[in-house]
Structures are given as structure tokens and as C-alpha cells.
């Protein structure tokens, strides 16, 4: 009997896919990858998979790994896709692939099935990551198979299939858009959100954060501690990576921080409209940059800033397990060494402002300046510096004078 692992969420799509794979003759090993999805009942989900006839069903808890080894390096890079999206879904996908392949190796399955559609980025990320880890893996993406789509042209047929197979469906929970969530963020897209003229913030029922206008009328302070560009504590308490993200989700969330409305370019070429909320990561990005301003060398920071759209693009497209990414990760680990210290932020109705920063590695230090005897900067030097900087401009002004 052929066997496969299935990235299983317990929702309508992956439940139908589980049934269909069994109809196709597969032994199906369901893997619920725990990414810190806030509202899902893990035991009920496993129970459902087993009742449906899965060969096995398990939870793989990767919450700490997701924050520590995936999201935090992306944070160190200050990577944002197309300037705004903090990559909350994109960065989780390679880890889902890895967790599923580890189970496949354990149970001896040779295929990896997932419920991503043929239109989106997630299919690319799952597959690019899986094939980079195990080049022999076979990917089963039922939504890309015509006979699957013919059998399930819409949700009505899927619900009907579940009824016939006694698969419990929770249609009442159905929202007028599609959600992907983990401890880093929640994304909302499709359905009613497809019309970019409609106000997405009014349409979405946010899960992690309140609307800025409903947030408290007083700023809330949060202090974040970093070591070598990695967050290590909040408000004087040392926490692990997942603990930091969770706590900042609460603090940021109750102050309405981190909600955005985006039209983004998918790897498959089309534009898509999404609403995201990422309260904790938004706070961390702000704190991290504030500390870099104090501690990072100018040219190094500028180089990192020129490269970071490249990292964002690679994460977004799904090239996580990739030679270029390995090298970029080595770069950022080295570059971030001095980024240690504490940042104090005020959160107020969706805004984040810096209320202070300290670091033992500060390059902005009046003390150092005076220690160097007040002689390290001589205003007389500035004259020659600017004359030399201005040389090409003066030559051109003589040869090709500008109108002014
Ligand atoms: N557009 C975002 C991205 O590509 C979010 C995707 C959400 N995925 C989903 N299956 N709803 O990263």
C-alpha cells in the first residue's frame, strides 16, 4: 500500500483530502504541525483524523523552533516583503515541510500531501522546501489535480462528501474570507476581501488584536532586551523565543499594534489583497531597529538594508533551504553581534514609539567622545573632506553648467 504524510489542519479542506487520499489507496499519516495557532483544539483534531481512518495522527510542536530559528533570523534581517509584510505565513511553511518529512522518514512514507491550492504561494514554499530536503520526495497537491477539482468544484460538494463519510464539519464557523494563523501572525484573504475598494479592517474579525480606536487611552510601555540581535527578554523577564512572541502579541494586541492591509505580488504572478495582524512581531521589528541605530556600524547597516528585500523575497518565494540563504544567514549572525541591549517602547492606539534605548555596545556615547580627548573630531578637517567629496561636482559644473 502506498503511504504518505499529510499536513493536516483539521479543517474542511484537509479533512476532505484525507478521505480522498484514502479513497485513492493511501495509508495516510496525519501531521498537525503546532505553530501556535491560537484557537484550535489539538486533541479534537487528532481524534477526528483517527476516526476518519488515518494510519496515524500526531502533533509536532515546533512553536519554539518557529520563533527561534525561523522568525528571529528574518527579524535580524529586518526583512519585509514589498516593504510591509512580516512574512508570518511564508516563514512557517518550510518548517511545516521539514516536520512532515521527519514523520515521513520515521513511518517510511514516500509522499508528502498538502492542502495548498494551485494558485497561491504556499504550494511553492511547501514543495521547494520539501524537495530541497529530500529530492526524492513525491508531492501530492490534490488541488492541482483536475480529477480532484472535478469531484470537488465547490464547498457544497466538500460538505456533502463529509456528510456521506461521517466527517464532522463545522460550517457555522465559516468566515467570509480565508485565514492562516500561527503564533507570528494571522492572515486574512480572499472572499469579501478580494475587492480592494472595500475596507478590510471593517470586514475582518481580528483574532490577536483590537482596533486601534478601541485600544486604551493611555500608552503602555514595554521593554525588550536583545542579545546579538536576538530578543531574549521582555520587561526584565528572560523568556524563550515563543514566550517573547506570545507575551508581545498580548501587549501589542491590546494596543492595536500591527494591523496592515496589503496588495502583494504572489510568486505565481497575480496580485492578491490581504489583511494581516502581527502585533508581537511588529513590536519586535520596531525595537530591533531602534537598538541597531545605537549599535550598528553605518556602512554595515546600509549594506544589510540593501540586502534585506532580497531575503524577504527569498522567504516569500520559499527558498529557505537554499545555498544563498545559508550564506545570508551566516552574514546576519556575524553582523548582529553588537546588537545587544534594551529598548523601551510606548504602544499607543496602533502606534509604536521609542522611549529609550541602552546598550553596552553603543556607538552613540558621549563618554567615548570625551575619553578620546575631544580631539577625535576636528572641525577644520571637515573643510578638506567636503572639498574632496565635491570634486566631481565642481568639474561637471565647469564643463556642463546647470541652469539655476
Ligand atoms: N499572502 C500571504 C502569503 O503568501 C498569506 C497566505 C495565507 N495562506 C493561506 N492559505 N490563507 O504569505
| Ligand 1, atom nearest to 272 Cα | 1
Closest C-alpha to ligand 1, atom 8: 180
| DSSP letters for 74-140 | HHHTT--BTTTB--TTTTTHHHHHHHHHHHHHHHT--EEE----TTSSHHHHHHHHHHHH-TTPEEE
The answer, yes or no, to whether any atom of ligand 1 lies below 6 A from the CB of 90, is yes
In this prediction the pTM is 0.96
pLDDT at 172 over 70: no
Enumerate domains of the chain plus CATH numbers.
Answer: 3-174 (3.40.50.620), 179-296+338-358 (3.90.1260.10)
- The strand order across the sheet containing 230-234 reads 237-238, 230-234, 220-227, 341-348, 351-358
Catalytic residues: 13, 93, 122, 178
pLDDT at 55: 98
Stretch 250-274: mean pLDDT: 98
**291-300 residue pLDDT tens:** 999 999 999 9
Q: Which of the residue ranges 118-132, 156-170, 353-367 has the most confident prediction, judged by mean pLDDT?
A: 118-132
Write b or e for each residue in 248-287: b if 16 or more Cβ atoms lie within 10 A of its Cβ, otherwise e: bbebbbbbbbbbbbbebeebeeeebbbbbbbbbbbbbbbb
Q: Which of 189, 272, 278 to mutate to test the pocket of ligand 1 (most atoms within 8 A of CB)?
A: 189
**302-359 residue pLDDT tens:** 999 999 999 999 999 999 999 999 999 999 999 999 999 999 999 999 999 999 999 9
| Ligand 1, atom nearest to 190 Cα | 11
| Ligand 1, atom nearest to 81 Cα | 12
Closest C-alpha to ligand 1, atom 2: 89
Stretch 385-399: mean pLDDT: 98
pLDDT at 169: 79
**7-44 residue pLDDT tens:** 999 889 999 999 999 999 999 999 999 999 876 688 99
- Distance from the alpha carbon of residue 251 to the mean position of ligand 1, in angstroms: 25
**120-143 residue pLDDT tens:** 999 999 999 999 999 999 999 999
**194-234 residue pLDDT tens:** 999 999 999 999 999 999 999 999 999 999 999 999 999 99
- Distance from the alpha carbon of residue 208 to the mean position of ligand 1, in angstroms: 17
Amino acid at each position: 500500500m502506498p503511504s504518505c504524510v499529510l499536513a493536516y489542519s483539521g479543517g474542511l479542506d484537509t479533512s476532505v483530502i484525507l478521505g480522498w487520499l484514502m479513497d485513492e489507496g493511501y495509508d495516510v499519516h496525519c501531521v498537525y504541525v503546532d505553530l501556535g495557532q491560537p484557537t484550535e483544539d489539538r486533541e479534537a483534531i487528532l481524534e477526528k483524523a483517527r476516526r476518519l481512518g488515518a494510519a496515524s495522527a500526531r502533533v509536532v510542536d515546533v512553536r519554539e523552533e518557529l520563533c527561534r530559528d525561523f522568525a528571529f533570523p528574518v527579524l535580524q534581517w529586518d526583512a519585509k516583503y514589498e516593504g510591509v509584510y512580516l512574512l508570518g505565513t511564508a516563514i512557517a511553511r518550510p518548517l511545516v515541510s521539514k516536520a512532515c518529512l521527519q514523520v515521513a522518514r520515521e513511518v517510511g512514507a514516500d509522499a508528502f500531501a498538502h492542502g495548498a491550492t494551485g494558485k497561491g504561494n504556499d504550494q511553492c514554499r511547501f514543495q521547494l522546501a520539501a524537495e530541497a530536503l529530500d529530492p526524492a520526495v513525491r508531492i501530492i497537491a490534490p488541488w492541482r489535480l483536475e480529477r480532484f477539482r472535478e469531484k470537488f468544484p465547490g464547498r457544497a460538494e466538500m460538505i456533502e462528501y463529509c456528510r456521506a463519510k461521517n466527517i464532522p464539519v463545522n460550517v457555522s464557523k465559516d468566515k467570509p474570507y480565508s485565514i492562516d494563523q500561527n503564533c507570528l501572525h494571522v492572515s486574512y484573504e480572499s472572499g469579501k476581501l478580494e475587492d480592494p475598494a472595500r475596507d478590510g479592517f471593517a470586514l475582518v474579525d481580528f483574532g490577536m488584536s483590537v482596533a486601534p480606536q478601541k485600544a486604551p487611552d493611555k500608552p503602555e510601555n514595554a521593554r525588550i532586551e536583545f542579545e546579538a540581535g536576538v530578543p531574549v527578554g521582555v520587561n526584565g523577564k528572560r523568556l524563550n523565543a515563543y514566550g517573547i512572541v506570545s507575551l508581545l502579541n498580548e501587549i501589542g494586541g491590546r494596543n492595536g499594534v500591527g494591523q496592515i492591509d496589503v496588495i502583494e505580488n504572489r510568486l505565481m504572478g497575480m496580485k492578491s489583497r490581504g489583511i494581516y495582524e502581527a502585533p508581537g512581531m511588529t513590536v519586535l521589528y520596531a525595537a530591533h531597529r531602534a537598538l541597531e541605530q545605537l549599535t550598528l556600524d553605518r556602512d554595515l547597516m546600509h549594506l544589510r538594508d540593501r540586502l534585506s528585500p532580497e531575503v524577504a523575497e527569498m522567504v516569500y518565494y520559499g527558498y529557505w533551504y537554499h545555498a544563498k540563504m545559508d550564506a545570508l544567514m551566516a552574514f546576519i549572525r556575524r553582523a548582529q553581534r553588537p546588537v545587544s541591549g534594551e529598548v523601551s517602547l510606548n504602544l499607543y492606539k496602533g502606534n509604536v514609539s521609542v522611549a529609550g534605548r541602552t546598550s553596552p555596545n553603543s556607538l552613540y556615547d558621549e563618554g567615548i567622545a570625551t575619553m578620546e580627548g575631544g580631539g577625535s573630531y576636528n572641525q577644520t578637517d571637515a573643510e578638506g573632506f567636503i572639498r574632496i567629496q565635491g570634486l566631481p561636482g565642481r568639474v561637471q559644473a565647469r564643463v556642463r553648467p546647470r541652469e539655476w
